[in-house]
Structure formats: structure tokens, C-alpha cells
Structure 1
């Protein structure tokens, strides 16, 4: 067997391998592209010439629809069968999904400079990949033996909502209909990403905690999960209806639920085990982010809808603090466990995770502290630089695991 066949065999040996590898490089490319754009605005480099798409909406799209989904699918393709004792997803299925998505992302990047035709072609490939992924997930869900499928139903439904958001973005590219863009933005955060990560957190954090903390009582109230998902959906719907001034009640309710779960899941005890602590730290950002959303929304409502006092700080606390940190922590755990390594976070990865928290602080400071607003471009570039440094070192350490055999000699 030649070297290329061996590498392909390892990449296709488990669902997370190829998808995590693609997500790792996309984590770098997404922020590299945005950092170059920010440097161009600051006059540090020649600004990239785009084919008629506002860079802000490219940045948001790349983050939500081309970075996170690789990791989410790598995780769900692995856990869906385990959650429900269902049929394993076949290699040809998950490899086809990965290749379609990767090719779609490549065409999208090319289209940013060459024109909307390539962008549209890339989006079509992404939609096809997502559709295949949804079909694979629901095949497992619907054919698995009867049992507790609540987490799977939420995650599967959220992915359908994400596919609709991706459709809406494609329609916006083709028609310039801003309603489509608005739906894509709201759906990506509030109907897709947040419900899925809430579900994964609700399922996995208490479980992982119970495996390593002594005398740990698993508290996993489904009523709170339904309430939190409902609040997330309500936030998105209110913004779609141009009633954003009334979303603060849903945000504060979600914040209360998240902070309560951080407490009962024993946030401070998690620091005894670093691999567990990174998940608890990531989840804690959800409570902080939604509290910030709620307070900002309340002030917006009390002032007659004139000003968002915290700017985009709550959004970045959610997307970078909760979403990206959780992806970094969960991907590290899955990679170690399914690579045959001990489930122990080494010193370097722990430092990278802690350093990554600086990205959030640097990004939100100009929105929170008035005296820093004039230096916002510098803070944004610094945040991008820290993101790139952390993920680059993470990729250098973990990416080779995906194209190599498990160190314990087992399959997968």
C-alpha cells in the first residue's frame, strides 16, 4: 500500500478525522482572511478586492457556515450512533460530505475575487454536502432502536435550520434580497449554532464530569434545555420581526438558566481536571454572553431603541467565547480519545486554550470601554493575531493525528 492510500485510509477510518482536519485549516483561513481585510482598512496592506460582497457579511458567513460545521458534523457523525445505539455512518457517506463541503469552501474563496458565479457554485456544493449530512443524521435517528432521542432530535432539527440559513445566504448572493441575508444571519446563530451547542453541552458536560469527579451527581433537566432552546429561537424570531427591543426577556431568561447550570454542574470543581475545565469555561461564556445581550437589550428598550450600548460585544462573547472555545475544547477531547491517547490535556493545549480566552477580551474591550473605541482596529487585529497563533499551534499539534493510525493500535 502506497503512502497516499495509507493517508486516505486513516482519514476515512472515522468520521471526525477528515472533518476535523478540514475545520482546523478553515479555522485559520477564516480569521486570516478577516485579519487581512482589517489590515487593509487600517492602511497596513493593500485591501483585497472583492466581487461585490460586503466583507462583514463574508466574515459572518465564513465563521458560522464554513468553520463550525466541520467540527459539529465530525462530532455528530461520531456521537449520533453512540447516543442511540444506532447504525454507524459509512465512510463513503461522511467522506462525500467532507469533500463536497471542502470543494464548496474553496470555490467560495475563489469567487470572492473572481465573481459571484464561483461563489454560487461553491454555495451549491456546500448545500449538497449539508443535505447529505442531514440525510445521514436522520437515517440514524429514524432507524435507531426506540429510546431517548431527545438530544438527537434537537441537534438534527437545528442542522436543518442551518441548511435553510445557508439557502437564504445563497439566495441573497443571487438576488441581493436583504431579507434573505437577515434570515441567514439570525438562523445561523439562533436556530442552528446555539441550539446544537446547547444540546451537546446538556448531554456531554454532566456526563464527562461524572466520569472524572468523585461523588458527582448528574443534573440534566430537560425542562431547562427546552426553555433555553426556546429562548434562543425567540431571540432570532423577534429580530426577524424587527422587534429586537423585546428580546431582552428571552436573553435574561437564557442567561439565568445557563448560569444556574454552570453552578449545579460544579464549575469550580472542574478545574481539578483540565480536559473537563475547558468545557466548563466555554459554557460559562454562554451565561456571560446572554446576560450581556439581556442588559444591552433592556437598555435599548428603555431608551426607545436609539443605541446598542455594548455594540457587538455580546455577539462575540457568544460566538468566540462559547462557540469557538467549546469547539476547541471538545475537538481536543475527541481527538485525544479517538486517537488512542490518554484523556489528559497537556500543558501546551491548556495554555493555548487559556490564551484563546484573550481573543474574546481583546475583541470586546473597544465595545465596552469608551476610551478604547478609538483604538478598535488595533484591538481587532490583535485579537485576530492571537486567534491565528492559538489555532496554528493547535493544528500543528493535533492535525497529524488525523492522518495517522491510532497510537493504541485499535481501529478508528
Structure 2
């Protein structure tokens, strides 16, 4: 009993502990489920499961609204008070959010086997947790004394947009109206995930770089952040309106901004410090992925017959290369720093991060290189297997930290 009490005490000692733990477990579960589904479709398993939700949309939902969202909430609940010198979010508040989100996610998995009614109940619980989280974030934002709240405003609005996307997915499950599914997909990427991750990158990468690189000039041009967020919103809006072929201009502008920031933030210098390099490498994928989106848009505009010439390569360069790699980099740093451990990336974590880069390449190459397109299903399975293997090892290393006391005996 005392051990359980101590474990709960440690898990609830800081917002990132429970939410990062939930995100880590979800990262393992969602890729395990996806790899098993891919293996079944390739005939590598005796039976192919029939799910209550089309697998590709269930996969997208689990990645956007559960895996990434747990890490985003753990980060924002921690940083919002720090960014703006605002009031701390209380343990009972962030633990309630975590438990609602976890319960909803588990019901969603159960519903994949047992039927849509359970899926609906699961998403309903997630929406309750999401709504409570939004209220908490906006409460800190509106009451904090800081004058500069620009990053926080973007993150809070994007999180609210994610709630709309989550609600739209629920409406799709209930009504089977494709318009709700389309909104959920586009909002999840272009109105929620991309604006938040870009905002966090804009805030934290130059700051972390300035702490460890000598003679570093901290440059954080807000005009480029506004341009990138605007281009992300424009892409999503054009997708919703059915004019995706005209999104290439904004995609190209976003890519240019991201690549320029990679350069002025010291991409090449970052490799002298591994814990910094992982963030810079992850951010570089933003520029690469948006170049791929721009190329796909140009093909769609000028050569409609080749509108799907790059398949889902741009999306996975963004999702695995940028989002997932940034999660690994940021979560490793936050976990080490907030547990009293040295801010040093060990060899295991470094090679696991390299593994994520390999998973990205295995996923996107068959969609880009026509000569290996016939091997695409096998490449997809390999990419999923690499992700799952790397994340399992990352989880085994970092998960126990969340339910143990800090090594420096400090609170939090």
C-alpha cells in the first residue's frame, strides 16, 4: 500500500510525469496495433482482424489525438506557468485530465474490437479531458502577469482547434458523414499539431541553443512564426475547400522560413551537443516535408494525372520526421532535466533517435522512388517495426523515471 501511495505521489508530482507516461504507453500501443494490422494485410498472420473503424482513420486518430496530444499536454501544463510567470496548475487538475484521456483512449481501443458505441464513449471521455485541459490552459494564459504571451496564445488557440477536430471525429463515427472526417484530419494536422509544434520549436530551440553553444546569438523572428502559422492554416483551409492544388505556394513559403531558421539557429553547430542536435534534426524535417508538400501541390496543379505522385510521403515526413522526432528530443530533455539528471543524451537514446530517422526514410522512400514502389507495403511494415522497436527501448529507459523520485531529492 505504501509503495502504491509513493508511486502515485511521484506520478502526480509534476504535470509531465503522468502525461508523458501515458503518451509513452500509447506510442507503443498504437504502433503495435498498426504493425499487427499491416502484417495481417500482408498475409503474415493467419487471420485479418475486422475493426469497427477503418484502420487507416483509426491509425490517424490514435496518432494525432492520443499519442502526440499526451506529450503536448504534459509539456504545455509545465511550460505555460513558466513562460508567463502564471499560477501553477494543481495536481488534481492535471491528473483528472490525464485519467479522462487515458480512459477514453482505452475505450477507443476496446471499441475497435467491440463496436462503435464503445468508440463513441471513449471519444466522449477524451473530449471531457480535452475541454478541461483547454480551460486550464486559457485560465493560466488570461490571468498570468507577463506582457509577452505570443507563444502561449498560438499554442492555446491551436489546442482549442484540436478539440474541434476531436469533436468532428466523434461526429463522423456517429453519422458516417465524410465531411466531419475530413475536417478532423485537416484540423488535427494543420490547425492543431503543426502550429503548436512550430511554436514550441520557435520558443525553445534558440533558447536551448543559447544555453550550450558559445558566442551564440539568440534570434527569434516573430514575423517568420506568423508566416509559418498562417501558411499552415492556409493549407488546411484549402484542403477543406477542395483547392489543395493551390496550397503549394504557402507550403513553399513555409519550407523557406523553416530552412532559414534551421540555418540561423545553428543546425551544423548543434551536433557538438547531442541533446541539442536531436531538436535541430527534428526541426530540419519541417523544411524537407513542406518542400515535398509544395512539390506534390505543383504536380496536382500542373499535372493532375500525377496529383498523388508522392503518395503520403510529405505527410509522413512531417508526422514521423518532424512531430515524432521532436517528441523524442523534447521528451528526453524534459524527462532528464525535471528528474534531476544531467542534461546529456546517452548513446542508447542517440541511436534510438537515429532509428526514428531510418523509420521516416523507410516510410517515405517507396512513395518517392518509383523503382521501389512495388515494395511499398513491405517498406511500410519495416518502418512501423523500426518505430515500434525504437520506441519500446526508449520507453523501457524513460518510463521508470516518471514514477520514481527525482535523483536530486528536489520536489517535482
- Give the TM-score category using the shorter length: over 0.9
Structure 2 SS opposite 1:343: coil
Structure 2 SS opposite 1:215: coil
How much does 1:311 deviate? 0.8
Distance 1:304 1:163 in 2: 34
How much does 1:285 deviate? 0.2
Distance 1:384 1:302 in 2: 33
Summarize the alignment of residues 10-409 of structure 1 with structure 2, pairs less than 5 Å apart: 10-45=10-45, 46-51=47-52, 53-304=53-304, 306-409=306-409
Give TM-score, length-normalised by structure 1.
Answer: 0.99
Structure 2 SS opposite 1:3: helix
How much does 1:306 deviate? 4.9
Q: Which of structure 1's runs of 4+ aligned residues deviate more than 6 A? A: none
How much does 1:115 deviate? 0.7
Distance 2:305 2:239 in 1: 13
Q: Is the 8 A contact 1:10 1:403 kept in 2?
A: yes
Distance 1:128 1:216 in 2: 44
Q: Is the 8 A contact 1:105 1:122 kept in 2?
A: yes
Q: Is the 8 A contact 1:36 1:47 kept in 2?
A: no
Structure 2, unaligned runs of 5 or more? none
How much does 1:106 deviate? 0.4
How much does 1:196 deviate? 0.1
Distance 1:48 1:281 in 2: 37
The residue aligned with 1:2 is 2
Distance 1:85 1:177 in 2: 44
How much does 1:199 deviate? 0.3
Greater CA deviation, 375-384 or 274-283?
Answer: 375-384
Root-mean-square deviation over aligned CA pairs: 0.8
Residue deviations 1:111-135, cap 9 Å, x none? 0111111000000000000001001
How much does 1:307 deviate? 2.4
Structure 2 SS opposite 1:289: helix
Aligned length: 411
Greater CA deviation, 355-364 or 299-308?
Answer: 299-308
Distance 2:379 2:221 in 1: 40
Residue deviations 1:290-317, cap 9 Å, x none? 0110011112101136522111000000
How much does 1:54 deviate? 1.0
Distance 1:26 1:114 in 2: 19
Structure 2 SS opposite 1:310: coil
Q: Is the 8 A contact 1:297 1:308 kept in 2?
A: no
The 3 A distance-change label for structure 1 pair 305 and 219 is farther
Structure 2 SS opposite 1:88: coil
